[in-house]
A and B are shown apart, each in its own frame.
Chain A
């Protein structure tokens, strides 16, 4: 196992490593295995980071959908973006994970996966007003082996690795899915405030009902994981803001012009969060 770099060879000679010893030979093997695993982990972290960035951008785009005249075409644009993430990055992740225990590398790709779930669920909420299921997401992240005939004509950017002959998938653990859903509520809260600004006074009530359902379900789960508990408290704050928004619209909606409600709303939500902070300190 001689290294091609002269520097390393020289260094090895000065430290008296006996290459013939059984111990050293065993450790040479471990070195190869460890390096292989660490490299894979690093590659997954990189891919996950790319997925996170792209998903965040998609979410920003989705926020522009409300109140936009051309919302249909914006929605289809974001869908395309999501598909691109899936076909380029997620496909690579799934290929890295082929034949591995997905839980071994979960920590490497979990942030990206959660952000992706957040973007997908957000898209589906805007598109159809419903929550996309874990099964749907999992199906979406399962890649069948490419048809060799089709692969040759396909766009090189989206063309999958031709050598692959088995179905691969990015395994989505249910907990990761739920954490993504918890993140979704933050976006829904932002959506509410934006929509009031855009003059839509119906949406906040719809979103509020939807968020309550999520909140209630999460309450019943109890102590599942520390991460979920942390997200739960954020969820509660978001829900609080949305409920306050609905309240303000209900009470004052008929009194003041629409464009002023948004100002009033941002005022109340700030007040309420300040109030909450103080309450927490005590």
Chain B
């Protein structure tokens, strides 16, 4: 009798492992699709850095937004594979790609409106919920990670927009990255990956400030940028 009970215990664990492996397999293939789309969007947005890319920003954003349609579809497929209330059991599989996609969505919103994407909008663009209680969502850490990726991308854009002759943009970028930096400073980060990534933010900030410096000493900053850059309050 007890022999049977013990065997039962071990065989049911075997079933559990098999089932888990199946779920992981499903998730992995789904995540691979999302990664593919994310790469496409990233490649698409790269053309902003090219010589005349800045002029084409509105159409580029339009196109990138269209691609996000696929992302939403794929995320909804993924969310079906993840058992309820077990988001964090499998989180590692899609952590990376959802960070990248939040970064990309933030980048698009910045290019369009020069503003920070809200967590709500970011979740909406990815087709997921904002809070854990509502279903498949984006972890707060991952969203913040995406914002840090945005900062790196923007510091690169600051350099390239100067090359392309747009002298106003770097000033606005420096201001925005500075704001992000002071935002992150408000957070009490633990000694984890987010903290490590945050430590790199200061270099992005430094880079964009250097660009502004270079423009300023040469008198290249457009007039209206100068006035808004001053701390008005």
The judgment on whether A and B are partners is yes
Chain A residues within CB distance 8 Å of chain B: 15-18, 20-24, 26-28, 30-31, 33-35, 37-38, 99-104, 106, 128-131, 133-134, 173-174, 177-178, 213-214, 217, 220-221, 224
Instruction: Give the docked Cα–Cα distance between A66 and B125 (Å).
Output: 64
Name the distance in Å between B17's Cβ and chain A's nearest Cβ.
6
Task: Please list 18 pairs of residues, one from A and one from B, whose beta carbons are closer than 8 Å in the complex, sorted by A's number.
Answer: A26-B119, A30-B140, A30-B183, A31-B188, A34-B140, A34-B187, A35-B188, A100-B132, A101-B85, A101-B88, A130-B2, A130-B5, A134-B12, A134-B13, A173-B89, A174-B13, A177-B13, A217-B10
Contacting A at CB under 8 A, from B174-225, are 176, 179-180, 182-190
B115 contacts the other chain (CB 8 A): yes
Instruction: Give the docked Cα–Cα distance between A99 and B85 (Å).
Output: 9
- Chain A residue, CB-CB nearest to B6: A131
B16 contacts the other chain (CB 8 A): yes
The answer to whether A101 touches B186, judged by C-beta atoms less than 8 angstroms apart, is no
- Checking A16, A37, A128, A214 against B231 with a beta-carbon cut-off of 8 angstroms, the contacting residue is A16
The answer to whether B6 touches A23, judged by C-beta atoms less than 8 angstroms apart, is no
Q: How many residues of B contact A (CB 8 A)?
A: 39
The answer to whether A31 touches B180, judged by C-beta atoms less than 8 angstroms apart, is no
Instruction: Give the docked Cα–Cα distance between A15 and B183 (Å).
Output: 12
- The answer to whether A101 and B183 touch (CB under 8 A), given A130-B2, A131-B9, A221-B17, is no
Name the distance in Å between B103's Cβ and chain A's nearest Cβ.
16
A-chain residues with CB within 8 Å of residue B182 when the two chains form the complex: 15-18, 23-24
A-chain residues with CB within 8 Å of residue B186 when the two chains form the complex: 17, 24, 27-28, 30-31
B227 contacts the other chain (CB 8 A): no
Instruction: Give the docked Cα–Cα distance between A213 and B7 (Å).
Output: 8
B-chain residues with CB within 8 Å of residue A99 when the two chains form the complex: 133
A-chain residues with CB within 8 Å of residue B8 when the two chains form the complex: 133
Contacting A at CB under 8 A, from B1-27, are 2, 5-6, 8-10, 12-14, 16-17
Name the distance in Å between B231's Cβ and chain A's nearest Cβ.
7
The answer to whether B188 touches A224, judged by C-beta atoms less than 8 angstroms apart, is no
Name the distance in Å between A79's Cβ and chain B's nearest Cβ.
19
- Checking A23, A104, A131, A220 against B14 with a beta-carbon cut-off of 8 angstroms, the contacting residue is A220
- Chain A residue, CB-CB nearest to B176: A23
Name the distance in Å between A208's Cβ and chain B's nearest Cβ.
15
The answer to whether A104 touches B88, judged by C-beta atoms less than 8 angstroms apart, is yes
